[in-house]
């Protein structure tokens, strides 16, 4: 793979799958719960380039709070032009406060490993980012962020908790770990889409982002979310600077209502 394409495949699978932005409000039941798992096939330039799996994990403790870990796994296929990729991204969803506390990214691309931890501070205006390449010492940096910022994975799940309406636009700040910007998602229509699970009623959303470099898009992203209470992302289309990408849902497992148990404490060491 050309050097400029490094990270694009994973960035799309882990960062843009079903991207949308909104903050869950009210006391309506969550559209997702621990045990939910969605698998996707990702095509790049019309060729199957890899897979992505998004799982809502069991309740745990992170930074002193109860969270649901939203775990995204990306794997590349052995095809020409794609580096071997085995990446894991964990977003820590505070289901009581309906916000993201931070994230851990374990990146393994072309046999080079790197870890990035983002911890959002309680003031909602700043974040600590720790980066470490394999064999090197970690580096830390404080970032000023837009107040109330979410990561993209958390924003996607927050959107699923909203009551979607055709013609309405949702816009909230997002922090990627290096950049803050405002993302906007507008519900354009309610339509029927043919999927691997059969025909489904879906909402079509047009998503505006400010990604740059490999993830810069030539046009707005288009995402389809089911029109039922789950608001599950079933398809994503993006026309990027380095080519078109499509992600489609291939398998889905509904989350389960869990009997309350003591939350597991996360390993906070970096």
Q: Render pLDDT for 130-189 as a digit per residue (tens, 0 to 9).
A: 999 999 999 999 999 998 899 888 888 888 989 999 999 998 789 989 888 888 899 999
Instruction: Give me the percent of the chain exceeding a pLDDT of 90.
Output: 49
User: Which of residues 84 and 147 earns the better pLDDT score?
Assistant: 147
Residue 10, φ and ψ in degrees, nearest 5: -70, -40
Per-residue pLDDT tens for 59-82?
999 999 999 999 999 888 765 455
Residue 12 has pLDDT above 70, yes or no: no
Per-residue pLDDT tens for 17-61?
433 333 333 345 688 999 999 999 998 877 778 899 999 999 999
């Amino acid at each position: 793979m050309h050097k400029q394409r490094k990270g694009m495949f994973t960035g799309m699978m882990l960062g843009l799958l079903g991207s949308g932005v909104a903050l869950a409000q009210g006391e309506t039941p969550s559209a997702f719960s621990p045990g939910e798992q969605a698998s996707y096939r990702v095509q790049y330039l019309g060729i199957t380039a890899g897979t992505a799996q998004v799982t809502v994990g069991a309740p745990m403790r992170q930074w002193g709070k109860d969270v649901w870990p939203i775990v995204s796994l990306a794997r590349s296929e052995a095809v020409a032009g794609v580096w071997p990729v085995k990446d894991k991204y964990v977003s820590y969803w505070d289901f009581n406060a309906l916000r993201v506390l931070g994230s851990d990214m374990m990146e393994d691309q072309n046999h080079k490993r790197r870890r990035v931890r983002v911890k959002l501070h309680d003031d909602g205006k700043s974040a600590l980012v720790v980066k470490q390449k394999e064999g090197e010492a970690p580096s830390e940096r404080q970032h000023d962020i837009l107040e109330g910022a979410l990561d993209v994975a958390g924003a996607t799940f927050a959107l699923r908790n909203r009551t979607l309406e055709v013609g309405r636009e949702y816009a909230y700040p997002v922090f990627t770990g290096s950049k803050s910007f405002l993302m906007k998602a507008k519900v354009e229509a309610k339509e029927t889409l043919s999927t691997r699970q059969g025909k489904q009623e879906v909402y079509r959303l047009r998503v505006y982002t400010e990604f740059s470099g490999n993830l810069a898009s030539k046009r707005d992203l288009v995402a389809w979310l089911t029109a039922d209470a789950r608001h599950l992302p079933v398809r994503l289309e993006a026309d990027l600077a380095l080519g078109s990408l499509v992600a489609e849902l291939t398998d889905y497992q509904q989350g389960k209502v869990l009997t309350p148990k003591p939350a597991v404490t996360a390993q906070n060491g970096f």
